[in-house]
Amino acid sequence: MKLIPADDRIIALQTKPETKTNSGLLLSTGVEIKPPTCTVVSVGKDIHTYKPGDIIMFAEPHSSDSTFRKFVIDDEEYVFLKQADVMAKVEG
In contact, 52 and 42? CB cutoff 8 Å? yes
For residue 11, what are the β-bridge partners?
Answer: 42, 80
Q: What is the pTM of this model?
A: 0.75
Which sequence spans correspond to the domains of the chain? 9-90
| β-pairing verdict for 55-58 and 86-90 | antiparallel
Domain 9-90: which topology? 10 Kd Chaperonin, Protein Cpn10; Chain O (2.30.33)
Q: Quick count: other Cβ atoms within 10 Å of Cβ 58?
A: 20
Task: State mean pLDDT over 29-52.
Answer: 84
The residues near 16 (Cβ < 8 Å, ≥ 6 apart) are none
Residues 45-59: tens digit of each pLDDT: 999 999 999 999 987
| β-pairing verdict for 9-14 and 86-90 | unpaired
